[in-house]
Structure formats: C-alpha cells, structure tokens
Chains A and B, each alone.
Chain A
Amino acid sequence: DGGITQSPKYLFRKEGQNVTLSCEQNLNHDAMYWYRQDPGQGLRLIYYSQIVNDFQKGDIAEGYSVSREKKESFPLTVTSAQKNPTAFYLCASSIDSQRPQHFGDGTRLSIL
C-alpha cells in the first residue's frame, strides 16, 4: 500500500538532547512538509521541501533542522535549541506544491 510512514509513534526527549523524527513516503511525491500541531491551534508549517537537496523554512523553523537526501525521505531533527518541543508532529507529501497534501499518522514528542 502506498502511503506516508512516520516513526516512532511516541518519542521522549531529555534536556539538551537532539532527536530525529523519521518520515518516509512511497507515493513518488516530489514535495514534502513538516507540521507541528498543538492543542487549540491550527497546524503550523516547520519546513518544506520541493525537491531533493532543497528545502525552505516555514513559519516556525527555529530549533528544527531537516535534510532531503532522497526523494522518499524527509527526516526532522528537533534540536536542544527548541525550548518547547512537546507537540504532535505531522509529515505530509504532495505530487507537487499545488496539489493536496497527504499526511502520515504523526509522532508525539514529549519531554522527560
């Protein structure tokens, strides 16, 4: 089945630690996205990638980093500079930037 796989489903971070969230898609989509979802707020864009080796900051990129070495993969690193990382993180992809985005089932990140 084609889809977007995010792992792990739950992740815990210690103070001062960097953690990496995985996002893999087998839909052959060019564009990939990372969003953050907090209770009572709309989804907010962290990073966007239109093609391999190219990505752009979204509205809340501070404290996060990404890479796009393969078309299928778009991992997100939450660095120790992100002071409030507790949230539900969603990865999405689309055929191109103008088509509907399709989402994975998210990773819930908490602080130990």
Chain B
Amino acid sequence: ELKVEQNPLFLSMQEGKNYTIYCNYSTTSDRLYWYRQDPGKSLESLFVLLSNGAVKQEGRLMASLDTKARLSTLHITAAVHDLSATYFCAVDKSWGKFQFGAGTQVVVTP
C-alpha cells in the first residue's frame, strides 16, 4: 500500500525566513503534485512534478522531485503572511488515483 508522509505537520514561520516541507512516499511513482488549501476551501494546484530531478518555481515557492529517494520538497523563500495555508502533496497511485499526504499547516507570523 502506498504511503505518503509529510513533515512537518505544522510549521510556524517567521516572515522573511526560508522553510522546507518534505514529502516522502513509499512506492515507485514519477508523478507528484503539490496543492494549497485555505480554510473552508478546496484545493488549489501549485505544482505538477513529472520526472526525476524536476524543479518548478512560482513566486516564493519552489518544488523538486527526487524519484530515486522518493522525496519531494516544497521550499518557501522569504515567507509572507499570504502563504499561510495547509499544503498537501499527492502521489498518483495509478490511473489518477491520488494518495495525499497528511498536510502541513503553515502559519506565517510577523
């Protein structure tokens, strides 16, 4: 059974500092997705990582994928309040069936 582990589950960030969220998964997959969820809302797609070594950046967020280590990271540069949300990684088990990580709740404070 595929397991997807995120850590940390909670991250208190200071504005202006850098942080990383980790996503480990247990079986071979070359498709990994990152999403953001605001309270009471659905998921917003952030990144789709499709191959080993893939790196994508959007604003202060950068995601990477190492399929050999079965690890993806979401790096936040110079955190700002607007980034407060819960971040999920998801792995495609098969044919689009996603297994989600537990989520990382991010709170950015001044």
A and B are partners in one complex rather than unrelated chains: no
